[in-house]
Each structure stands twice: as C-alpha cells, then as structure tokens.
Structure 1
Amino acid sequence: MQGVLETREVQSPALESNPLGDPARRKLTVYLPPGYSDGDQRYPVVYFLHAFSNSGSSWTNTSAFTLSVPERLDALITSGQVPPVIGVFPDAWTSLGGSQWINSDAIGRYRDYLVKDVLGFVDRTFRTLPKAASRAVLGHSSGGYGALVMGRYHPELFSHLGSHSGDCYFEYCYLPDLPKAAGALLKAGGLEAWHQDFKKRSRETKPRGEDFAVINILAMAAAYSPKKGEPLNLELPFDPQTARLKLEVWNRWLVHDPVRFVPKFLDAFRKVKSVFLDCGTRDEFNLRWGTRILAEEFKASGVELRHEEFDDTHSGVSYRFENSLSFLIPKMARE
C-alpha cells in the first residue's frame, strides 16, 4: 500500500457498563492516504461498518489472491480513480456477534459509540473536514444496515451512504431462520441452555454451521426487541414451544426494517446527498428484493442514487466496495 494503516484505541463512554459486559475500550483502524504526513491538508472521511460476526480488525484480514478493503481503497486513490480520503474502520463486535449499529437496552449504545465517540475521536486526532458533506458511511450486510440507520438518525453528520447487501425486508431475510432457531432452542432446553453450550463449544472447538441461524436471531432480537429481565434481556419473536410468531414482538422488529423506516423518514434522507445500494442476485438471505424496494423509495425521494445488482452471493463480495467508493468519494466536499 502507498498509504498507511494506523491502529489507535478509543475509550467509549457510550459503551461503558453495557448490558453484555463487552469492552468499552476499542481498537480503531485508520487509513491515511499517501502524502498525509507531508502537509497540512484536510481530508474527507469514509467510515466503514463491518458485518455481523465480524469486527473492526476483519477489514485487514488477508485472503489468498484478493485484496482487503483498505487495499482496494488505497489502489483507487493511488491510481487517481478517486481523490484521497481518510478511511476509518471502527469495531462494534459484541459477545452476541454484533450490534446492528443501533442503541439497544440488551446490547449497548453502538449508534452513540459511532457518532459521538468514534467520530469525535477521529475529528480531534486527524486532519479531517468535520462536516456532513465530507463524510460517508458504508458497509456490508449488518454494516450496510448500519449505514442506513445513520442516514435515518444522523443526516447532519453523514451526507453519503453506501449499503452493500444491507439487512432489509425482514419477512424475507429473517423469517426463514426463525423455525431453525426455535428447533435448536427447544432441543437445548431453552435460550440460556443453548447459549451456554454455544459459548462452551465455541471456546473449546468452534461453532457449528447450524449455529449461525440461532445466534443471528438472538442478536437481532437483542437489537430489535430488547426486554429487561428476560434471558439475555431479549424477547424472541416466536413462542419457544410451537414457534408460533408473536406478532406483537415481530412488529417491534418491523419498525427497524429499512423498507419501512426509509419511507417514514424521507425528510431525513432527503438531506443526504448520495446513496449507493447493491446486492447479489444469488444472495442467500433474499436481500436482493428489499434492496430493490429501497431503490424505488430513494428514487421517489429525489436523492441521488446508484443501485446495482451483480451475479454473486452474500459473502466474499468485498470487491464491490470499489463500485461504491468510486461513486461516493468524488461527491464528497473537499473544502
């Protein structure tokens, strides 16, 4: 790489005393473009939000024969395809696998962590352009979902959004996993018994393939339907004995569905200057359809949008960040 990666640590007041007891001090990876150390220029900033079951350090993991996202960003800058920016890779890992980048009574205040603690640290520490028009936020899967959350709540902070295969249209992306989770929890003797066994197995060997559907649903319940006093402080959207859908709980999930909150909060999204959406046509979580719905909503709102589909599945698609970065970065204010 021609640019450099730095690792810092951020002490997050938002995460102190979080319900899961996860660390409030987090590592933060920052990409500085070529020439950063040679002058006093200020730069736009791109915030990268990782997916469920990943962490901030996942962005720099090497994979045979391909490039990491920081390496792809560096290549775009050094080739002159996009102007230089600072890249920020925060860590929102939790002991349930993720946070959805929202504030939750069962997980912690991860939206506040990003927009107050991480953003504040970055603007104090690096030569940024500290305004919405010079900030982009984007991610994949739960990270793409998080980018849409930032557009809903914080258009005063982020003017450019990118969602790669972001969680949306919950009937298609989550409902298929509910009976799988119900069966595993019933077999284990309940939520707490399953979770204790899962943690033990994961430490001693590794999770099983079928564990993902269960921990995914538990994490989403913690994000969308927290309830203090219940096991793990969450309420499941189904009856544990019959898997019958609990509509009053499921409806609490749907409030958090982008296909519902984007049209409801169009006034906020109209303040955003550009949006990039994409999804693979073979996405295993059926996210193609929710992404298409979102594209229709954004087109109707008048927001500048690029919506793309590509022939691939859900995972292993980090190469798609070249498309979003090439679209969003040139639109970011540079003064």
Structure 2
Amino acid sequence: MNGLLESSELLSPALESNPLGDPARRKLTVYLPPGYGADERRYPVVYFLHAFGNSGGSWTNASGFAPTVPQRLDALVESGAIPPVIGVFPDAWTSLGGSQWVNSDAIGRYRDYLTKDVVGFVDRTYRTLPKAASRAVVGHSSGGYGALVMGRYHPELFSHVGAHAADSYFEYCYLPDLPKAAAALLKAGGVEAWHAEFRARVSETKMRGDDFPVVNVLAMAAAYSPKKGEPLNVELPFDANTGRLRLDVWNRWLVHDPVRFVPKFMDAFRKLKTVYLDCGTRDEFNIRWGTRMLAEDFKNAGVERVHEEFEDGHSGVSYRFARSLSVLVPNLAQD
C-alpha cells in the first residue's frame, strides 16, 4: 500500500452498559492517503460499514488472491481515479453477530456509536473536513442497510450514501428464514437454550451452515422487535410452537424495511448529494428486488441516484466497492 493503515482503540460512551454486555472499547482502523500529514491539507472521509457476521477487523483480512477493500481504496487513490480520502472502518460486531447499525433496547446504541463516538473521534484525531458534504457512508448487506439508516436519520452528517445489497423488502430477504429458525428453536427447547449451545459450540469448533438462519433471525429480532423481559430481550415474529406468523411483531419489522421507510423519509434523502445502489442479479437473499424498488422510489421522488446490477451473488463481492467509491468520492467536497 502507498497509504497508511492506522489502528487505534475507541472507548464508546454509547456502548457502555449495552444489554448484551459486549465491549464498549472498540478497535478502529483508519486509512490515510499518501501524503497525509505532509502539509496542512484536510481530507474528506468515507465511513465503511461491515456486514452482519463480520467485524471491523474483517476489512483487512486478506483472501490470498483478491485485494482487501482498504487496498482497493488505496489503488484508486494512487491511480488518480478518485481524489485522496480518509477511510474509516468501525467495528459494530455484537454477540448476536451484528447490530444493523441501529439503536436497540436489545443490542445497544450502535447508531449513536457511529454518528457520535466514531465521527467525533475521527474529526478530533485526523485532518478531516468536518462537514456533511465531505462525508460518505458505504456498506454491504447489513452495512448497506446501515448506510440507508444514516441517510434517513443523519443527512446533517453524511451527504453521500452507498448501499450494496442492502437488506430490503423483508418479505423476500428475511421471511424464508423464519420457518428454518422456528424448527431449530423448537428442537433446542427455546431461544436461550439454542443460543447457549450455539455460543459454546462456536467457541470450541465453528459455526454450522444451518446456524445462520437462526442467529440471523435472532439478531434481526433484536434490531427490529426488541422487548425487555423476553429471552435475549427479543420478540420473535412467529409463534414458537406452531410457526404461525405473528403479524403484530412482523409489522414491527416492516416499519424498519427500507422499502417502507425510504418513501416515508424522502425529505431527508432529498438532502443527500449522492445515492449509490447496487445488487447482484443472483443475490441469494433476493435483495435485487428490494434494491430495484428503492431505485424506483428515489427516481420517482426526483432524487439523483446511481443504480446498477451485476452478474454475481450476495457474498464475495467486495470488488464492488471500487465502483461505488468511483461514484461517491469525486462528489465529496474537497475544501
């Protein structure tokens, strides 16, 4: 790399005493472009939000063949394809596998963690341009969902949003996992019994393929339908004995679906300067369709957006960040 990766630790007030007891002290990786610190120049910033099941450290895990996202960012800067920027890679891992980058009574205040603690730390520590026009937020899957959450709530912080295969149209991307989760939880004897066995097993061996639908549903319930006093403080969207969909709880999930909240909060999204959306045509979670719905909603509302599809699935598509960065970064205010 021609730029520099710095690693530090951030103690997050927002995450102190979180319901899961997860660490409030988090690793923060920051990419600094070539020439950073050589003069008084200040730089725009791109915040990268990781997917469910990943952590902040996953951004720098080399595959052996493909470059990491920080390496792709560095190559774009070095080639002159994009102007120099600072890249920030925060960690929102939880013991349920992720946070959806939201504030939740069952998980913790991860939206506040990003918007208050991480952004504040970065602006205090590095030579940033501390304004919305000079900030972008991008992510894949749950990270893409988180980017849309930031567009909804915080256009005063981020004027540029990039969402790769963002969880959307929940009927397609989540509903197929509900009966799988119901069967596993019934067999285990409930949420707490399943989760205890899962945590013990993965600490000794590894996660099984059939674990993902269960832990995914539990994590999404923690984000979308938290309820204090229930096992893990979550309310499931199905009956534990019959698997029947509980429409009152399911409707709580749908309130958080981007295809529902984007049109409702379009005034906030109209404040954005750049919106980038993409998804693979073979996405295994059917997110292609929710992404198409969002693209249509933005178009109908007169919001400028770039919407692209490509021939691939959901995972292993970090190369697409090179494309979103090429769209977003040239639009960042440079002074």
TM-score with structure 2 setting the length:
1.00
The one-letter amino acid of 1:308's match is E
Counterparts of 1:89-238 in structure 2 under 5 Å?
89-238=89-238
What is the deviation of 1:114?
0.2
What is the deviation of 1:28?
0.2
What is the deviation of 1:301?
2.0
The CA distance in 1 between the partners of 2:205 and 2:86, in whole Å, is 38
The one-letter amino acid of 2:126's match is F
Matched, 1:52 2:52: yes
The one-letter amino acid of 2:247's match is L
The CA distance in 2 between the partners of 1:141 and 1:71, in whole Å, is 20
What is the deviation of 1:330?
0.3
CA RMSD, 1 decimal: 0.5
- Secondary structure of the 1:307 match is strand
- Secondary structure of the 2:29 match is strand
Counterparts of 1:54-93 in structure 2 under 5 Å?
54-93=54-93
Partner of 2:249: 249
Q: Which moved more, 1:296-305 or 1:59-68?
A: 296-305
Counterparts of 1:12-31 in structure 2 under 5 Å?
12-31=12-31
The CA distance in 2 between the partners of 1:207 and 1:149, in whole Å, is 29
The CA distance in 1 between the partners of 2:323 and 2:206, in whole Å, is 34
The CA distance in 2 between the partners of 1:61 and 1:319, in whole Å, is 14
Partner of 2:7: 7
Matched, 1:317 2:320: no
The one-letter amino acid of 1:91's match is D
The CA distance in 1 between the partners of 2:191 and 2:9, in whole Å, is 34
The one-letter amino acid of 2:288's match is R
Partner of 1:38: 38
What is the deviation of 1:300?
1.6
The alignment-based identity, stated in percent, is 78
Offset from partner CA, 1:288-331 (integer Å, 9 cap, x none): 00000000011122222110000000000000001100000000
- Secondary structure of the 2:319 match is helix
What is the deviation of 1:40?
1.3
The CA distance in 1 between the partners of 2:305 and 2:74, in whole Å, is 24
What is the deviation of 1:37?
2.4
The CA distance in 1 between the partners of 2:191 and 2:65, in whole Å, is 40
- Secondary structure of the 1:38 match is coil
The CA distance in 1 between the partners of 2:189 and 2:24, in whole Å, is 32
What is the deviation of 1:56?
0.3
The CA distance in 1 between the partners of 2:9 and 2:39, in whole Å, is 24
The one-letter amino acid of 1:267's match is D
Q: Unmatched 5+ residue regions in structure 1?
A: none
What is the deviation of 1:258?
0.2
What is the deviation of 1:45?
0.2
The CA distance in 2 between the partners of 1:14 and 1:45, in whole Å, is 22
The CA distance in 2 between the partners of 1:121 and 1:245, in whole Å, is 43
The CA distance in 2 between the partners of 1:65 and 1:19, in whole Å, is 39
The one-letter amino acid of 1:185's match is L
The one-letter amino acid of 1:278's match is D
Q: Unmatched 5+ residue regions in structure 2?
A: none
The one-letter amino acid of 2:272's match is V
TM-score with structure 1 setting the length:
1.00
Offset from partner CA, 1:15-73 (integer Å, 9 cap, x none): 00000000001010000000002111000000000000000010000002111000000
The CA distance in 1 between the partners of 2:7 and 2:300, in whole Å, is 41
The CA distance in 2 between the partners of 1:108 and 1:334, in whole Å, is 34
- Secondary structure of the 1:36 match is coil
Moved over 4 A (4+): none
The one-letter amino acid of 2:34's match is P
> How many aligned positions are there?
335
The CA distance in 1 between the partners of 2:66 and 2:196, in whole Å, is 37
